[in-house]
Structure 1
Amino acid sequence: PPPLQPPPPPAAPPADGFDPGATLRRGSDAHEQESLAMKHATEQSRTYPCAACGGELHFDIATQLLKCEHCGNTHELAEATGEVRERDLRDALRLVREGKVARTATFLDGEKEVVCQNCGGHTTFTGTLTADKCPYCATPIQRDDVHAAPDRLPVDAVLPFSVDRKSAEGLIDKWINGRWFAPSEFKTYNRTGSFQSVYMAYFTYDADTTTQYSGQRGTTRTRTVGSGDNRRTETYTTWANVRGAVSNSFDDIPILANEGFEKKRIDKLEPWPTHDAKPYSAEYAAGHLARTYDNDVEECLGEATTIMEGEIRSTIHRDIGGDQQRISHMDISWREMTYKHILLPLWLLTVIYDQRPFQVYINGVTGEVHGARPYSKVKIIAAVTVAILLVIIVIVAVQAGGGGSG
């Protein structure tokens, strides 16, 4: 990761009152006052009762409003005021290294049992789960002790779902039906699997860099060698030493901060339209699952800088030019570096087949689908058998045709 350089002298907060060094700043008071959430201090949780009938409010993807599933009334979301802000990365790293920000492994050790304030049922929150539904009455319940904790990096933004459940099921059906050798049990996921909407925790990173480099530019040439029958043309490369400097600007490099998922498949859901993100409001998660981060801003930084360094190398190759390029040294100057903690929407299908979990992921905004599925041994054997029979039929037909003409 980039070196932790000494901080510049503190500057006076801007006129709008935003202090970029206040890494642990909470949400605005105005948002908390306008919110329809009912806080339960004894349970350190919140629910969303409907003011009209007392039913449960959910974030309705189709209308982008809070909607009561009982009476159908809708309510505007009390979004946090202002714009999505980037936070100073070096400030956050310093707080993590000084122990002022708790590691997830120690903060969320064990389980938390919450009593539903609607029906009295018990809901267990395990690990980094922060929003769930009561298994008895489907009341949306959220843990307040995670995001409100003073030693946790707060959520800065949320990218709301725009692909609703009906559309997501259609995308899953199309994806599964295109997998001919998937077992029938997998195709009946609506009876045998779990299909959930979930907000995943991400950190996004921004950086401006200047890189001094040295290397070599290769120019491909041809020459004729030998004589007579051995005369031939061969290709060779001449190399020239080069030096230079390139600049790169990175915006919203997304890094998944949750464990327990096939990250390579989730990464294929990119790009995420993070510029459409809204200031964080817990109401977007009402009725949906939500996770806080397993890996903190420092633990995710290494992957982000690896991605950035790969792009810097590509920029240097283009700057060197020629037919081939070699980089012998790079000196990267990391200038402004910022981050944000953002929740991104995902539709998650999990099916247990042959005692193994298989997961399919849908980008909750773009509808991109990627995942894993099992193979049906019965269908594969049947397909091979049919193929062999077809080959035998063709051979018999050819032989019969040849014998008749003789």
Structure 2
Amino acid sequence: MSAPDVAVQARELEPAMAALREMRARESGPQVTGEWEVKCQNCGGTTGFTGSLTATRCPYCATPIQRDDVHNAPARLPVDGVLPFAVGEKQARELVDTWVSGRWFAPSKFRKYRQLGAFSSLYTAYFTYDADTASWYQGERGDDYQVRVGTDEDGDPVYETRTRWYPVAGEVGNDFADLPVLANENLNRNRIRALEPWPVERARAYSPEFVAGHLCRTYDKDAEESFPEARQRIESAIEATVRRDIGGDHQRIHQLNTSWNWLAYKHVLLPIWLLTVVYMNQPYQVYINGLTGEVSGDRPWSKVKIAAAIAAVLAVIAVLIGAFAATRGHHTPAHPAGHSTVAPPHPTTHR
């Protein structure tokens, strides 16, 4: 690899988006919707690129081919960095083997994914956000205390929990670094979110050499369009910080105002191994973090296996109920057979 090992620098969001809008007003960016054809320099075959796909292999000779007109195009946000694959294909398949083997209630045919599924390496587009915030709040702190309100039937005291509320106000600061947001559509965002955390601090400056031979996608939503998802996570973290600062058993937040002292982003490509299995005409996808090996995915459920498991549980319950009933129905005599004990008559006193 001749790509330079250079640290990735963040860009301020607002100035970068303003410059992008100005550039778009002067010239149109490359087409990232519909179909685009690229000619292979090795065999001359033509490969169709759909939507935001920017790198793949030639279907005729397996030569890596890319769209050179997308990444770092003037009318698009440039790629700042890339995290190269650290998990190879062999290890990735072993991780999928382990994951699939643990899906006990998946159909047996689904578990034969090697014959049914497509396995590929994919660079997905992400925007990661850095933020420095200061938040002022006003609210109430609630402290619980116990009050005796009476006694129960046995004469034991009964207590009730009540809360004292105090007015509070304060200021908290939060720093956020490399908060990742997937910028591609048509992928299971929740499953890919489960692959976090990403060691973005290890990203290197982008070079086309990194994505050669892999599938690669450019962003479908830019840094401004992707930011609301990051903002929601940031605001949730700020609220949690405020509640910790208030303390007590309960917190009420009446006012919360946040100032954004710094807001920046990085456009990075992150590596994912993707398994797609079509089962009963329904696609299921399993994702593997190409750096940490974390696995997240979907799979079908076997109705036969679930029914068998329910039947087994019901059988065990029936056996336990039968054993309990037999124990309750068996009476042991209080004394040995053939012997009886007669209590002496109670003395009567005559007055």
TM tier relative to shorter chain = 0.7 to 0.9
User: 1:328 maps to what in 2?
Assistant: 254
Q: TM-score, normalised by structure 2?
A: 0.85
User: Cα offset for 1:380?
Assistant: 3.2
Contiguous gaps of at least 5 residues in structure 2: 329-351
Match of 1:145 in 2: 69
Change (3 A) 1:395 1:209: closer
Query: Match for residue 56 of structure 1?
Result: none
Counterpart-to-counterpart distance in 2, 1:278 and 1:236: 56
Cα distance, 1:377 vs structure 2: 2.7
Match of 1:122 among 39, 42, 46: 46
Give the 3-state SS of the residue equivalent to 1:293 in structure 2: coil
In structure 2, the residue matched to 1:261 is 187
Q: Are positions 1:315 and 2:248 aligned together?
A: no
Comparing both chains, which one has the higher relative contact order based on Cα–Cα distances under 8 Å and sequence gaps of 6 or more?
A: 2
* Equivalent in the alignment of 1:88: 12
After superposition, the C-alpha distances for 1:217-258 in whole angstroms (9 at most, x for unaligned) are 111111123479696311111111111111111100000001
Identify the residue that residue 116 of structure 2 maps to in structure 1: 192
The share of aligned pairs that are identical, in percent, is 52
**Post-superposition offset of 1:390:** 6.8
Query: Cα distance, 1:378 vs. partner?
Result: 3.4
8 Å contact 1:96–1:102 — kept in the other structure?
no
CA distance in 2, matches of 1:221, 1:312: 28
Rounded Cα–Cα distance in structure 2 between residues aligned with 1:252 and 1:337: 11
Residue of structure 1 in register with 2:349 after alignment: none
Deviation at 1:371, TM superposition (A): 0.6
1:11-57 Cα distance to aligned partner (Å, 9 max, x none): xxxxxxxxxxxxxxxxxxxxxxxxxxxxxxxxxxxxxxxxxxxxxxx
Matched, 1:357 2:283: yes
**Given the alignment of the two structures, is residue 238 of structure 1 paired with residue 177 of structure 2, yes or no?**
no
Alignment of 1:158 with 2:55, yes or no, is no
Determine if contact 2:64/2:213 at 8 Å carries over to the other structure.
yes
CA RMSD of the aligned region, Å? Answer: 3.1
CA distance in 2, matches of 1:330, 1:270: 29
Distance in 1 between residues matched to 2:141 and 2:322, nearest whole Å: 63
Q: Does the C-alpha gap of structure 1 residues 300 and 104 become closer, same or farther in structure 2, counting only changes over 3 Å? A: farther
Q: Is the 8 A contact 1:104 1:295 kept in 2?
A: no
Read off the aligned partner of 1:125 and give its amino acid letter. F
> For 1:92-136, what per-residue CA distance to the aligned partner results, in whole angstroms no more than 9, with x for missing partners?
232355573899998312111112111122211000001100111
Structure 1 unaligned regions, length at least 5: 1-76
Aligned pairs (5 A) from 1:3-402: 77-80=1-4, 82-98=6-22, 100=24, 107-226=31-150, 232-384=158-310
- Are the aligned partners of 2:126 and 2:181 in contact in 1 as well (CA < 8 Å)? yes
TM-score (norm 1): 0.74
What SS does structure 1 have at the residue aligned with 2:24? Answer: coil
Q: Distance in 2 between matches of 1:240 and 1:388?
A: 54
* Matched-pair contact (CA < 8 Å) for 1:104–1:293: no
Task: Tell me the secondary structure at the aligned position of residue 100 of structure 1.
Answer: helix
Q: Alpha-carbon deviation of 1:180?
A: 1.4
